[in-house]
Structure 1
Amino acid sequence: MFTIDTIKGHDRMSTQDLLLAISEAVANGETNFEIAASGQHDIGGPLWHPEGKTLYFHVANAGQRLGSMCLANTEIIADGSVSADVGWLNAGGKITVKGDAGDTAGHCSAGGKIYIGGRGGTRTGSLMKHDPLYEEPQLWILKNVGSFSFEFMGGGRAVVCGIDSEEFDSVLGERPCVGMVGGIVYFRGHSHDHPADILLEELNDDDKAFLSGGMDEFLRAIEKEDLHTELTDWKQWHKLRPLSFEEKQKTNIKHTDMKSFRLNEWIKGGLFSDVAVDDFAVKNLVEKGIYRQRVPQWNNAKYAAPCEFACPANIPTQLRYNMLRKDKQEEAVKLVLEYTPFPGSVCASVCPNPCMDACTRAKIDQAVQIGPLGFQSVYAELDMPTKKTGKKIAVIGGGVAGLSAAWQLIRLGHAVTVYDDADIGGKLEQVIPRARLPHELLQAELKRIETAGVKFVPRCKVDADKFIELRKTNDAVILATGGHKSRFFPWEGVEKLTMGLDFLKAVNRGEHPAVGKNVIVIGCGNSGMDTARGAYDMGAETVTCIDVQKPAAFQDEIEYIEQLGGKLVWPFMTTKITDDGIYDNKGRFVKGDMVIVSIGEAPILDYLPQNENIKKFRDWLVPQADNSILEGIFIAGDVIKPGRLVDAIGSGNKTAYYADAYVMDKTVPAFPEKQKVPEKSLDREYFTKCHHCDLPEPIGDVNRCVSCGTCRDCKTCLESCPEKAIDRIDHGMGIVEYISDPDKCIGCGICAGVCPCGIWEMTANPELIKMYRTGEAE
């Protein structure tokens, strides 16, 4: 005997642990089980003895699904009542419940016997069935059952004795035998109306023989043998059975359609009439209009293309190529100037082009030539507003961040003056080697900014007094003084260092600074490569660049230095600098007679007042949400954190956005940031691969651009829609719109699937179906 109490002190055994313990005991040959349960479910099945012996279960306080999937040679006796799904999917077991059973007792039963010594709940006997190869299932119930009993019954026999059920109008509950196609239901007492294809009949001899043969066993099982005489008066019994196929052919029972059936024979008001207003219409699997599960949305330019998303200046290259496709070359060339005044100096010359790294086309063959496209806009001009705001804004710092902010603000009609203690242009002018950035190109773009109306004040040192003056005489001040202090660590011999930033500035000023024969550059980033290039230009015979980590410079910059004979050594952690070279922490030595450090720069902020409201992180300023640090004082670029030149452009644009809002005393939302178009929505199969030898010039690269997130007017959706639900509307001036007709659209999603650019998006149908009762007037 296997005996188990599932409550130990205050701890209750889990269902999983109980079932595992029972399975283990059965595997070990146990056949008798005495279980003091505490609501655990699925007790008693599916189990089989290794020698085919019968398994006996005596259970108290059983939970749901007692005898679930119970197999032959299993007998279960449950004291008292149990909850739902007694004998669910019973496949041969004998299950006795001495009290009431919950809902769906005998649900899907296909074999065996289930005895209920009380009442059954809603949908008792539903989906019972009979495989002719096996003995049919039986379900015996002493009292009555709940509504929808024997729903969709397909086989077997059910017996409802009707004891102690006089108070009920029907011992079978409301709407018994709906959808019943097989089996027999025997009942004693009264029953409600049943479907027209279910026959109510009196018992024949075979029925009486069945009931008489099973009644004694049933009553013994539930310990109610004293009811034998009362329950064997067959005059009180009836049976329900479905019409056979042949009988149905002879009747006039016809359902013209499902709506008629639901109106005339289904539950009045519908199954969920208490919470819903049913129109009794039957919807097809494929529907149009309000009943579509999904609806298409033409989200032209809702999402940023990967190139736009990756660009800190948010330049929408896909729009430039869309314009070029429509022969709008002038508009395309000018478009980039709305986002940056440096399409040639930065985008085409010194930017690492994160836009090209992110380009979807790179996953097909090679990225679209976005960077070189910037050369097309070097000499373009934008019309400036004739109406001025009367607001004055000072920009301290004539580098990329400051000039980008100035460019945006002048385009808004403000008066802008840029101050710098050197020549205007920042690192573009002072540091970037002329070989990487032709001086005439930079001068052309600086001239455009100046021609637009920005006033340049070069070689003007802004100290604390000058800062106070600028703050008093302007409506706002933008600090974009960049990073002009070379960073280094307190190595031994640090006094022997040459600062990389000072060295590069001297080179660009034409001072031809002296260098050693064997130069060591600490730092293998892009500034380190620029320093190495400058050292070679000044006459160095060898240059060795060292770094503690893998070189971060662009590959083409590294290759250029290596072609000159330069070497890169890493990892190399500097510890000591001498007149003869440099040592690392492992004792390695690199020979050299000059060491230049180029591992980054920090800002010089000595012009700022001492103010506890100005927050800093190490050497850098920490802006508020609107990029300000004090009332009317905004910051941009490398004074916030070191970054690329394109990062400085994005930072300048953001600062200009908030500075404009401040001087114009207007409330604006947070600086706009787009979501990237989902990659899975792009259909790259639309595009043919191109051999790298056949790449066109950048401006002719229009057909290779995937136009991610913006419609290229390819008409693929228009031609692919099976329902012809999509219309193309030409608004003129090159503006085209696609719309989907809800009265034709079935929500199939083909438009979203074939769109190469990810414009069409399928969303859950947002249209409200007014069917649920909300307590308000319907």
Structure 2
Amino acid sequence: MATHSSTTVHISGQEDGRRVESRILEERIQRAVTQGARDLAIEAHGQHGLGGRLWISEKEPITVSITGSAGQRVGAMGFPNTRIEVLGPASDDVGWLNAGAEIVVHGNASNGCANAMAQGKVMIGGNIGARGMTMTKANPRFTPPELWVLGSAGDSFAEFMAGGTAVICGHTPQDPENVLGFRPCVGMVGGRILVRGPHKGFSLKDARLEPISDADWDWLTTNLRGFLKAIRRPELLDVLTVRETWQQIVAKSPYEKSAVTRRSMSEFRTQVWDRELGRGGLIGDLTPLDRSPIPLIVSGELRRFVPVWENKVRKAPCQSSCPTGIPVQQRWQLIRDGHVDEAVDLALAYTPFPATVCGYLCPHLCMQGCTRSTKSMIPVDITFLGKAGVNSKIPALPELSGKKVAVIGGGAAGISAAWQIRLQGHEAVIHDMDATLGGKLTSAIPSTRIPKDVLDAELTRVRQVLPHVHLKHKLTRDEFQGIVDTHDFTVLAVGAQKPRVLSVPGADKAIAALTFLKLAKKGQAKPGKRLVIVGAGNVGCDVATEAARFGAEDITLIDIQKPAAFGKEKIDAEAVGAKFRWPCFTREITDQGLVLTTGELIPADTVVFSIGDQPDLDFLPATIAQNRGYVVVNDQGQTSESKVFAIGDIVKPGLLTDAIGAGRKAALTIGDMLAGRRPTPDTRETIAYSRIKLEYFDPRLPSFSDMGQCASECSSCGSCRDCGMCEIICPRGAISRKALDGKNFEMVCDAEKCIGCGFCAGVCPCGVWSMFPNTPMG
């Protein structure tokens, strides 16, 4: 059984004088690690697989010390951040399928040492048996695997080795005349072997000697110190660092292996085909056409497929998911290029609230659309960039054109439209009936969701860009018409300010959610101890969290269907103890609380209606079409009056980001019309998830630590990240990078070299290479 000390957990492989089964011992080891053990001492009695598959996190390394008789497969399938030390010899298959563990054996190791290892390091303080370092592999994303042997290797060493480095020091070997055993390197296709001492050759068909460069020698001597320290033999450093005693063996490339004499097709035609059948072969008497052979692998016009570099032809899913259209992947590319300020400030071209909304209030639709989510990987975290936007400087403003646009409504939608109008060089004038600019951002959204200093900073920036703001005035119909007549265009963005109520007895005893949130923002809310909220959406959740802040203890949200609440709002409501009930139908509201149609009374000091709000359209003329209390618009936001646009909740209830996006879209259309251009919306399709290669990225990340890590893990869907993979992998060297003006570039393909194999499209992480059927001219 395990006995715990303050630093080390001791686990014995023997219990009541009897050997514990390997399976049971492994379960005890795994349980100890799960319960917090990070330093384990194991007394082995021949059990197998000790130390393998132990993983917690990169920040919590695990060490395993093994005494006694270790069985087979010590450290098998070992994970990164695991260090295993065997204080004696070890049996077969040490480090089998090792995926990152560091394994030290202070004695000999038997057959199959480091067999099929992909990562990590195995260090042997003695000799190893047959078939060591066989079938290893190396992923270019990770550090190649390493095997260090103080003594010598047994037969069939490095058989089918496909990656990594093996170091055979030849100190006190099993056979002083041969430190590599019989038939080493058979089938070797990758990796290298550094060997000291005599050997009797290796498979010349599969491997060759290569001089040890200065860089190779520096690597060997540096890492040799670490190896000797690990096996507790540092005194051997001087003996083992005589450069002349070492050789390096590397795998031959496929081209080297295939260097045999072959007869060309033209030689075969003249020496065999025509000699046996006559000039022209079987049909020589029918046609004089040239029948010279076409190469098996063709290029140019004979290719079946042609690669096309379609950089930025399709939109990334994150950008498509964002109502404001922010090119998220472009911002992460700027971060990768070291232009952090430029990446942060880029958002101001799309939204006046990069921190308030993108950093705090948005449900982050871009992250919901992130390609990484399709492979159960965490999406790239945009909040790092969003929150940094609070410090963005005012963008450069063009001189005014003399054109003037009125914006009715000073909330998120109206400010967004006015912001974009000014960025295009036109004057924007905001009219709002509230005392402060910002709409629900300022008056209703709880301060627990957005820090006051962040919102104040962004509204200050807005006022510097948009100085013409008229507040505290509710427009009449005649005043509105006067504004329309004296401006080039008018944008309606008054939002929805009229709360919906239920037509039930006692409805006058309830309070509207918007009214409650405004009172809470002023510090004047009085919910009492018991609160019932009719409508379990995100606004209802905001009411719940604010009510708890003002002393409510028993909070219930009811709805006629499954609650629409999601994200942070729902999490925060549940955190203060709010309960969700559905389906529930209200019959009446009394002084005791809310009565359901079932007759059940839910006691309440306060009842809040949170079933939505409607726009107040009394000031609009009959010429502006309406439908069920909302303004009717076309795809660009234009109303039935050509000079009037409408955006936000006055058209359709939605998210803050929907309102900001609608404001930008309408403003760009107005800008095109003022310039006499036909509006040109972005009609690019969204790139298919299947085109993106996520194999280059780490699936194990539980979270992101900073913007740099986010940028490196972004797959840059649809936009070339200039990684050069296509150029490297092209077997004919047909692809090259061509620099253009400034930072621009393009990847070009030489048709005379290209064979249409599709390797470029297959390897591209961003999905920007496409293969099209070749249609030669003529």
User: Where on the TM-score scale, by shorter chain, does this alignment land: which range?
Assistant: 0.5 to 0.7
Determine if contact 1:632/1:659 at 8 Å carries over to the other structure. Answer: no
Secondary structure of the corresponding residue to residue 685 of structure 1 = coil
Is the aligned partner of 1:463 residue 2:472? Answer: no
Within the candidate set 347, 350, 359, 1:336 is matched to 347
Query: Residue type of the partner of 1:680?
Result: S
Cα pair distance change 1:585/1:286, threshold 3 Å: farther
Measure the CA separation in 2 of the matches of 1:596 and 1:373: 36
Is the aligned partner of 1:639 residue 2:650?
Answer: yes
Task: Report the counterpart of residue 65 of structure 1 in structure 2.
Answer: none
Higher alpha-carbon deviation: 248-257 or 618-627: 248-257
Matched residue, 1:497 = 510
Residues in 1 aligned to 2:281 and 2:462: alpha-carbon distance in whole angstroms: 75
2:386 counterpart of 1:374: yes
Alignment partners' CA distance in 2, 1:251 and 1:564: 94
1:254 aligned onto 2:278: yes
Q: Secondary structure at the match of 2:475?
A: coil
Q: Which amino acid aligns with 1:426?
A: G
Residue matched to 2:450:
437
1:357 counterpart residue number: 368
- Change in Cα spacing, 1:471 to 1:556, as seen in structure 2 (3 Å) is closer
Residue 759 of structure 1: how far off its partner (Å): 1.1
Residue 394 (structure 1) aligned to one of 403, 406, 418: 406
Q: For the residues of structure 2 that align with 1:526 and 1:257, how far apart are their CA atoms?
A: 81
Partner of 2:75 in structure 1? none
Partner in structure 1 of residue 537 of structure 2: 525
Contact 1:341 1:407 (8 Å CA) reproduced: yes
Equivalence for 2:460: 447
Amino acid paired to 2:554? T
Distance (whole Å) between structure 2 residues aligned to residue 622 and residue 291 of structure 1: 56
Distance 1:742 1:524, change over 3 A: same
Contact 1:410–1:454 under 8 Å retained in 2? no
Correspondence for 1:535 among 547, 565, 579: 547
Cα gap change, 1:249 to 1:332, in 2 (>3 Å) = closer
Matching residue of 1:564: 576
CA–CA separation in structure 1 for the residues paired with 2:655 and 2:281: 70
The residue type paired with residue 720 of structure 2 is C
Question: Which range is displaced more, 324-333 or 734-743?
Answer: 734-743
CA distance in 2, matches of 1:640, 1:372: 32
Paired with 2:667 and 2:733, the residues of 1 have a C-alpha distance of 47
Q: Does 1:265 align with 2:313?
A: no
Matched, 1:761 2:773: no
Contact (CA 8 Å) 2:736, 2:747: kept in 1 or not? yes
Q: Which residue of 1 aligns with 2:760?
A: 751
- Tell me, what secondary structure is at the counterpart of 1:349? helix
Q: C-alpha separation between the residues in 2 aligned to 1:561 and 1:460?
A: 35
2:357 aligns to what SS in structure 1?
Answer: helix
* Per-residue deviation, residues 499-558 of structure 1 (Å, max 9, x unmatched): 1111212222x1503323211111111100111122222332321111122222224322
**Against the structure 1 CA distance between its residues 717 and 579, is the aligned structure 2 distance closer, same or farther, given a 3 Å change threshold?**
same
For 1:760 and 1:463, locate their aligned partners in 2 and report how far apart those are by CA, in whole Å. 57
Q: Give the equivalent residue in structure 2 for 1:39.
A: none
Shift of 1:472: 1.9
Q: CA deviation at 1:626?
A: 3.2
Aligned-residue offset at 1:448: 1.5
Q: Deviations over 1:665-703 (max 9, x none)?
A: 33223x22331111111111111234326x322354211
RMSD: 2.4
2:41 aligns to what? none
CA distance in 2, matches of 1:557, 1:626: 31
Shift of residue 465 of structure 1? 2.1
Measure the CA separation in 2 of the matches of 1:518 and 1:341. Answer: 39
Q: Distance in 1 between matches of 2:652 and 2:286?
A: 75
**Residue 481 of structure 1 pairs with residue 494 of structure 2:** yes
Q: 1:769 to 1:665 in 2, by over 3 A?
A: closer
Question: Is the alpha carbon distance of 1:511 and 1:383 closer, same or farther for their aligned partners in structure 2, counting shifts above 3 Å?
Answer: closer
**In the alignment, which residue of structure 1 is the partner of 2:357?**
346
Per mean C-alpha deviation after superposition, the further-off stretch among 347-356 and 464-473 is 464-473
Q: Does structure 1 residue 653 correspond to structure 2 residue 664?
A: yes
State yes or no: 1:675 paired with 2:685: yes
Between structure 1 and structure 2, the one with the greater Rg is: 1
Name the CA distance, whole Å, in 2 between partners of 1:385 and 1:491.
53
Per the alignment, residue 162 of structure 2 pairs with none
Change (3 A) 1:283 1:428: farther
Deviations, residues 21-79 of structure 1 (Å, cap 9, x unaligned): xxxxxxxxxxxxxxxxxxxxxxxxxxxxxxxxxxxxxxxxxxxxxxxxxxxxxxxxxxx
Q: TM-score with structure 1 length normalisation? A: 0.62
User: 1:265–1:382: structure 2 CA closer, same or farther, 3 Å change rule?
Assistant: farther
Closer/same/farther in 2, CA of residues 257 and 527 from structure 1, 3 Å limit:
farther
Q: Which residue of 2 aligns with 1:665?
A: 676
Give the direction of change, closer, same or farther, for the CA distance of 1:532–1:255 in structure 2 (3 Å limit): farther
- Asked if structure 2 preserves the Cα contact closer than 8 Å seen for 1:415 and 1:454, the reply is no
Contact 1:477–1:633 (CA under 8 A) maintained in structure 2: yes
Listed one character per residue, the Cα deviations across residues 580-610 of structure 1 (whole Å, up to 9, x for unaligned) are 1223333333111211011211111111012
Q: Is the counterpart of residue 723 in structure 1 residue 732 in structure 2?
A: yes
**Cα separation, partners in 2 of 1:599 and 1:699, compared to 1, 3 Å:** farther
Superposed CA offset, 1:280-327 (max 9, x none): 887556422223222111111111111111111111111111011111
Residues 161-191 of structure 1 show CA distances to partners (whole Å, capped at 9, x for unaligned) of: xxxxxxxxxxxxxxxxxxxxxxxxxxxxxxx
**1:251 to 1:752, Cα distance in 2 relative to 1, 3 A:** closer
TM-score (norm 2): 0.62
Look up the equivalent residue of 1:754 and give its one-letter code: V
Q: Within the alignment, does 1:616 sit opposite 2:626 as a pair?
A: yes
* Contact kept in structure 2, 1:406 and 1:454, CA below 8 Å: no
Find the counterpart in structure 1 of residue 723 from structure 2: 714
Which of residues 586, 589, 597 is equivalent to 2:598?
586
Letter in 1 for 2:302: Y
3-state DSSP of counterpart to 1:641: coil
Question: Quick one: which amino acid aligns to residue 298 of structure 1?
Answer: W
Partners of 2:275 and 2:405 in 1: CA distance? 93
Query: Contact (CA 8 Å) 1:632, 1:662: kept in 2 or not?
Result: no
Q: Compared with structure 1, are the counterparts of its residues 313 and 265 closer, same or farther at alpha carbon in structure 2 (3 Å cutoff)?
A: same
Q: How many angstroms apart in 2 are the aligned matches of 1:380 and 1:250?
A: 78
Letter in 1 for 2:512: M
Q: CA deviation at 1:488?
A: 2.9
Aligned residues: 504
SS at match of 1:684: coil
- Give the superposition deviation at 1:341: 1.1
Distance 1:374 1:518, change over 3 A: same
Distance 1:532 1:673, change over 3 A: farther
Separation of aligned partners in 1, 2:756 and 2:600: 69
In structure 1, distance between residues paired with 2:293 and 2:473: 80
Matched with 2:120 is none
Look up the match of 1:384: 396
User: Are residues 1:303 and 2:314 paired?
Assistant: yes
Residue identity (%): 37
Question: How far 1:617 sits from its partner (Å)?
Answer: 2.4
Residue 647 of structure 1: how far off its partner (Å) = 0.7
Matching residue's letter, 1:373: L
For the pair 1:696 / 2:705, whether they are aligned, the reply is yes
> Which segments of 5 or more consecutive residues in structure 2 lack a partner in the other structure?
1-271
Distance in structure 1 (CA, Å) of the matches to 2:292 and 2:429: 71
- 1:705-728 deviation per Cα after TM superposition (whole angstroms, max 9, x unaligned): 111111111111111111111001
